[in-house]
Amino acid sequence: MPVPPSNLDPKIAERLKRSADGLVPAIAQQYDTGEVLMLAWMNDEALHRTLTTGRCTYWSRSRREYWVKGESSGHQQWVKSVALDCDGDAILVKVDQVGAACHTGDRTCWDADVLDAVVGERPGS
């Protein structure tokens, strides 16, 4: 799928590895505690808006439109830093989260469904 027009810096755009629908997963993390808050999706323009406005902008796959986190709910995300992973196929946005990050009203999207798992131990510890 061709990448829709965007104002994203071409040097950043050429580094992105997008899904077939032109999206890159974006993890939002609380900047001061390291708490992982949510996963959403960005295309080039959503990343551009995030980089240039100080607010997280995502692409809604279900509504097929941009959304600024907290615009309607008041649960805003204020950008502190943005990084690409080594492969350019994921974005990490460190934010100052106001209120809940999850659409369910939970602080994070990982509060409610912790799975049972064997806990590994590093050898020699």
Find out whether 56 is annotated in a ligand binding site.
no
Give me the residue label for tokens 């209120």: 99
Strands (DSSP E) contained in 6-52 are: 24-30, 36-42
Find out whether 102 is annotated in a ligand binding site.
yes
- 39: number of Cβ within 10 Å: 13
Find out whether 86 is annotated in a ligand binding site.
yes
Please, which pLDDT band fits residue 114 given cuts at 50, 70 and 90? Answer: confident
- Mean pLDDT over each residue of the chain, to the nearest integer: 93
Tens digit of each residue's pLDDT (9 = 90 or more) over 21-66: 999 999 999 999 999 999 999 999 999 999 999 999 999 999 999 9
Find out whether 32 is annotated in a ligand binding site.
no
Give me the residue label for tokens 């974005």: 91
Find out whether 113 is annotated in a ligand binding site.
no
> Whole-model pTM?
0.90
* Residue 31 token pair: 């900047």
